[in-house]
Amino acid sequence: MRTSWADSASEIPVSDNGSTPRPTRSAYVPPHLRNRQASDAPNLPGPATERPGFCGTAGGSRWSGGGAPKPELGHSGPGYGYAGGLVGRGGSGGGWNNRSRGWDKREREVNPFDDDVDGKTVDVEQAFGEPENTGINFDAYEDIPVETSGENVPPPVNTFAEIDLGEVMNQNIRRCKYVKPTPIQRHAIPIALAGRDLMACAQTGSGKTAAFCFPIISGIMREQYVQRPRVGRAVYPLALILSPTRELSCQIHDEAKKFSYQTGVKVVVAYGGAPINQQLRELERGVDILVATPGRLVDLLERARLSLMMIRYLALDEADRMLDMGFEPQIRKIVEQMDMPNRGVRQTMLFSATFPREIQRLASDFLSNYIFLTVGRVGSSTDLIVQRVEFVLESDKRSHLMDLLHAQRENGAHGKQALTLVFVETKKGADSLEHWLCINGFPATTIHGDRTQQERELALRSFKTGKTPILVATDVAARGLDIPHVAHVVNFDLPNDIDDYVHRIGRTGRAGKSGLATAFFNEGNLSMARPLAELMQEANQEVPAWLTRYASRAPYGGSKNRRSGGGRFGARDFRRESSFGKNLDYYGGGGNSGNAAYGVPSNYGGGYAPGVTSAWD
Ligand SMILES: Nc1ncnc2c1ncn2[C@@H]1O[C@H](COP(=O)(O)OP(=O)(O)OP(=O)(O)O)[C@@H](O)[C@H]1O
């Protein structure tokens, strides 16, 4: 029943010294209701300034509506009232319907779905009412092992209907063609809706984005009429979602816009390499959820155009990457040294497909009484990705790639080539391989950190649409990107880190679909022999005898050949490992994986190759 919560910022000024805000009007009227007859007005709660600070959640907000108790948001700034939600959870006659009924300016919001025909939204019930084959192979997830630890873990759900997300969000979920929640969603959404902090590890392509977006959007919808201070030109988002790359931030933003369509929750993205003024203008129009890369976020904070003091929800996607050596200082600055509410006051959710123990230990600094959740792991759970490893000398790699591409082209339907993502180690290597492919008749493009943002976006579009069905990439494209129809991932150069391999191959075989991953291995990759052989074995893949031999002779993998896994899982809760801190096997598998035998001193983040590190935003 409102447009963005952020609109209220323009209504409730705060004096420069941050003292009690004085409403300029007797009662705040959301913008979309301002020109309506009084009789049309919904039953609004009184002015939020009559309520105590963050703790004013009477009336069935998420915190008081049956979830686990959440510490009160005793924020230092006085009077920034969170008025209580109008309704409790699950009241069919109440809140969600009320909320959607009041939305009468829907047409203003750009429809992010493909169901807009001639300016009219087609009936989603009609469009998706049939028993839908969404392309997701849920059987593939049936026997995925799930492990949770922590106190009072809320039980999982089996259907979206069991989660009270409200009719508008439910409609958006149907428009996304999500018929039932994936395992990570089944477990993570109830945990997050109960207000709990969460460290969640689930295989690539298994729907983690929705798992953190749904509770955030729903939480903001429930907490009605959040009033925000107005200090200078700063804006005050309620939720912050951080991701390591610009492209991933854009993707999360696009997804979140779909999930929040017509809910009144406003999502904005800010990332480096794009003009900041445009992003500032967008922020000024109102922001509830800010999706950002760390660098641009710090820039906005330092310009005092953004304040984190109203943040209720913090989500880190690819959290292990966000907390590794490259990003950790920036993340600490953002989370601990700016004006963000403390852990336990905000709700924090960390998601990734991999979670090395040392990173878990670091991450626990940001969490309060959290639940650790792990759902399978790429290698062991998605037999959906067929993994092949071939011994290819450095000098033969190009011709070998050419053979693969020719074979693929011959098998392609209607002469159309399936999308192929080729990972290389360096930016120079990417450019040179792209050039070589093009002159040999294979339309290719490239994405890496030396390209301008415009070039990167163009390259991604050209790849997605199949115009250039081969994308040569550095690790900048390794994580999170959800590109439909990537049939083949080629590790032309293997990464030095098995977790990076997991993320790279995860660009195919997503959402229950099958995929193929081929790795070129040679003596330059000895440190990868053992973790790779192990990972493939866990995933029921055929491990070539020569790789097993290399694995048995391999030196202890070096700093990067850690395994974040514990047997069947992408990671294990480090709190469970009584030996943690006593030995050096930070990355050794719990359970039965033989990593302890590696005896790898942690030394995590012992340095990515320069060409790789700089590819990250
Ligand atoms: N419940 C669902 N039903 C059908 N499809 C879904 C469902 N949830 C998510 N998807 C789809 O699955 C795909 C993968 O989701 P997403 O990108 O969130 O995966 P992820 O777990 O974040 O992967 P990664 O670890 O690579 O970042 C997306 O295309 C998404 O739209």
CATH number, domain containing residue 305: 3.40.50.300
pLDDT of residue 571: 62
**368 and 391 together in one domain:** no
**487 and 433 together in one domain:** yes
How far apart (Å, rounded) are the C-alpha atoms in residues 59 and 223?
Answer: 10
Neighbour-count burial of 117, counting CB atoms closer than 10 A to its CB (0-12 exposed, 13-18 middle, 19+ buried): exposed
pLDDT of residue 570: 54
Radius of gyration of the chain (CA): 25
How far apart (Å, rounded) are the C-alpha atoms in residues 384 and 540?
Answer: 10
Q: How far is the CA of 511 from the centre of ligand 1 (A)?
A: 6
Q: Report which of 478, 483, 479 is spatially closest to residue 494, judged by C-alpha positions.
A: 478
Percent of the chain with pLDDT over 70: 66
24-37 residue pLDDT tens:
333 333 333 333 33
Range with the poorest average pLDDT among 17-26, 295-304, 515-524, 560-569: 17-26
Kindly report the backbone phi and psi dihedral angles of residue 170, in degrees, each rounded to the nearest multiple of 5, phi listed first.
-60, -40
**229 and 345 together in one domain:** yes
| CB 381 near ligand 1, within 6 Å | no
In this structure, is residue 12 part of a structural domain?
no
**What mean pLDDT do residues 381-406 have?**
91
pLDDT of residue 604: 28
Q: Report which of 509, 309, 520 is spatially closest to residue 404, judged by C-alpha positions.
A: 520
pTM tops 0.80: no
User: 417 pLDDT band (50/70/90 cuts)?
Assistant: low
Q: Biggest alpha carbon distance in the chain? A: 80
User: 138 pLDDT band (50/70/90 cuts)?
Assistant: low
**328 and 417 together in one domain:** no
pLDDT of residue 238: 97
Task: Name the residue at shortest CA distance from atom 4 of ligand 1.
Answer: 178
Q: How far is the CA of 512 from the centre of ligand 1 (A)?
A: 9
Neighbour-count burial of 203, counting CB atoms closer than 10 A to its CB (0-12 exposed, 13-18 middle, 19+ buried): buried
How many domains are contained in the chain? 2
Indicate if the alpha-carbon torsion angle 133, 135, 141, 147 is positive or negative.
Answer: negative
**150 and 284 together in one domain:** yes
| CB 375 near ligand 1, within 6 Å | no
Residue-range definition of the domain harbouring residue 236 = 138-375
Pocket test for ligand 1, best of 159, 160, 482, 502 (most atoms within 8 A of CB): 482
In this structure, is residue 419 part of a structural domain?
yes
418-444 residue pLDDT tens:
899 999 999 999 999 999 999 999 999
In this structure, is residue 148 part of a structural domain?
yes
**What mean pLDDT do residues 193-203 have?**
95
Range with the poorest average pLDDT among 108-122, 310-324, 350-364, 472-486: 108-122
- The reply to whether ipTM tops 0.95 is yes
DSSP per residue, 344-356: TTBEEEEEES---
Task: Name the residue at shortest CA distance from atom 20 of ligand 1.
Answer: 205
Q: How far is the CA of 255 from the centre of ligand 1 (A)?
A: 10
| CB 182 near ligand 1, within 6 Å | yes
User: 11 pLDDT band (50/70/90 cuts)?
Assistant: very low
245-297 residue pLDDT tens:
999 999 999 999 999 999 999 999 999 999 999 999 999 999 999 999 999 99
User: 332 pLDDT band (50/70/90 cuts)?
Assistant: very high
| CB 214 near ligand 1, within 6 Å | no
Q: How far is the CA of 211 from the centre of ligand 1 (A)?
A: 9
**149 and 254 together in one domain:** yes
**417 and 344 together in one domain:** no
> Ligand 1 atom closest to Cα of 181?
1
Task: Name the residue at shortest CA distance from atom 1 of ligand 1.
Answer: 181
| CB 208 near ligand 1, within 6 Å | yes
In this structure, is residue 225 part of a structural domain?
yes
| CB 247 near ligand 1, within 6 Å | no
Pocket test for ligand 1, best of 113, 136, 355, 502 (most atoms within 8 A of CB): 136
| CB 209 near ligand 1, within 6 Å | yes
Q: Report which of 293, 278, 276, 285 is spatially closest to residue 334, judged by C-alpha positions.
A: 293
Q: Report which of 495, 502, 440, 497 is spatially closest to residue 473, judged by C-alpha positions.
A: 495
User: 507 pLDDT band (50/70/90 cuts)?
Assistant: very high
pLDDT of residue 415: 47
**393 and 358 together in one domain:** no
Pocket test for ligand 1, best of 178, 208, 209 (most atoms within 8 A of CB): 209
User: 217 pLDDT band (50/70/90 cuts)?
Assistant: very high
**369 and 451 together in one domain:** no
- Cβ neighbours of residue 140 closer than 8 Å, sequence gap 6 or more: 382, 383, 384, 512
Q: How far is the CA of 205 from the centre of ligand 1 (A)?
A: 5
Strand locations in 83-214 (E): 116-117, 120-121, 146-149, 198-202
Q: Report which of 321, 383, 329 is spatially closest to residue 353, judged by C-alpha positions.
A: 321
**256 and 163 together in one domain:** yes
Is 60 exceeded by the pLDDT of residue 220?
yes
User: 306 pLDDT band (50/70/90 cuts)?
Assistant: very high
Pocket test for ligand 1, best of 175, 180, 206, 502 (most atoms within 8 A of CB): 206
Pairing of strands 239-242, 267-270: unpaired
Average model confidence (pLDDT) for the chain? Answer: 75
**Residue 555 vs residues 85, 233, 527: alpha-carbon distances, Å:** 59, 56, 7
Q: Which of the listed residues 309, 341, 375 is the one where a domain comes to its end?
A: 375
| CB 357 near ligand 1, within 6 Å | no
| CB 509 near ligand 1, within 6 Å | no
> Ligand 1 atom closest to Cα of 204?
25
Range with the poorest average pLDDT among 80-89, 185-194, 361-370, 547-556: 80-89
Q: How far is the CA of 206 from the centre of ligand 1 (A)?
A: 5
**What mean pLDDT do residues 59-86 have?**
33
| CB 148 near ligand 1, within 6 Å | no
In this structure, is residue 406 part of a structural domain?
yes
